[in-house]
Structure 1
């Protein structure tokens, strides 16, 4: 699958993740560690290193080759990675669905990056990947992400108690979905 680079906000591009991103992604995660900590699982120290990111990226790119994951990064004009978005758990057949996850750097909040990326990824999921729907979850107190999802046409579909192990404990999540089309799945 060919993915193109596209501007999602002034001076920020959405582009496919590449093996060359290990150092920049490690730097971005290290710089945003405190900002992301309330919303993410506990990470080993290796996660914040270029070597740890190289290993992680290698796994994501293998899954991309198997058509089960599609990872992108947000790249600023200066080459810094300032966020990421991923479709994971891509399922075909009668389900024809995927899960969406994303993050935005602390210094890039409220600039439209998440909304721009989510909209673009939904179009790719529908037009290029052929998915019927995308699901997403947020912690119940992550109102920023909930606003992004609502703005991008996701609807709340429920509450999942003890859904994800985040920041050292099981957390309740709000579940969302966006139906992309009503065509029958490709066989």
Structure 2
């Protein structure tokens, strides 16, 4: 299996750096999810209690890095002052005729509204286009997640439809708005 291209760290607003997930990030990732539990729970699947413990993430990170090594995902973290303050993931990477991926992200509540996630999504899209050679990115948001929809709009995504009962979020199947960005339309 060929080695995957390097992920160059990117400086974002507010002293945040976007970088590839590291094998030792388990404790920092658990701390980040626990610190922003109330902020994240309405937007995420129901999590087991162990999800907020370092061991859970320490065990999961090697799997995520294997997915990266196999070219199926790019697991990224947003870091400020050695603390993880968010995630940006490219998942479900398809090659062949599709050359596409899904984008998912979250950001610590105290950093929202400062352009951090907009810059992170832009950097992720540039990596997908310029390094991975992808054609298209897709993202989905809950109908009432206007902040996430604004990030997508600012970063060149367009609404393409509605997916009824698309994902099981916050304990129930919920409708999602679907967005896409055609990377091959981006100026080089």
- Would you identify which runs of 4 or more consecutive aligned residues in structure 1 move more than 6 Å? none
Partner of 2:117: 114
Q: Deviation at 1:55?
A: 1.5
Partner of 1:167: 170
Check if 1:20 corresponds to 2:27.
no
Superposition map of 1:1-187 within 5 A:
1-76=5-80, 78-181=81-184
Aligned residues: 181
Secondary structure at the aligned position of 2:105 is classed as: strand
Provide, for residues 143-168 of structure 1, a one-character-per-residue CA deviation record: whole Å limited to 9, x for no partner: 00000000000000000000000010
Unaligned runs of 5+ in 2: none
Q: CA RMSD in A?
A: 0.8
Distance of 2:14 and 2:149 partners within structure 1: 23
Q: TM-score, normalised by structure 1?
A: 0.95
Distance of 1:136 and 1:6 partners within structure 2: 21
Q: TM-score, normalised by structure 2?
A: 0.95
Distance of 2:49 and 2:89 partners within structure 1: 22
Distance of 2:143 and 2:86 partners within structure 1: 21
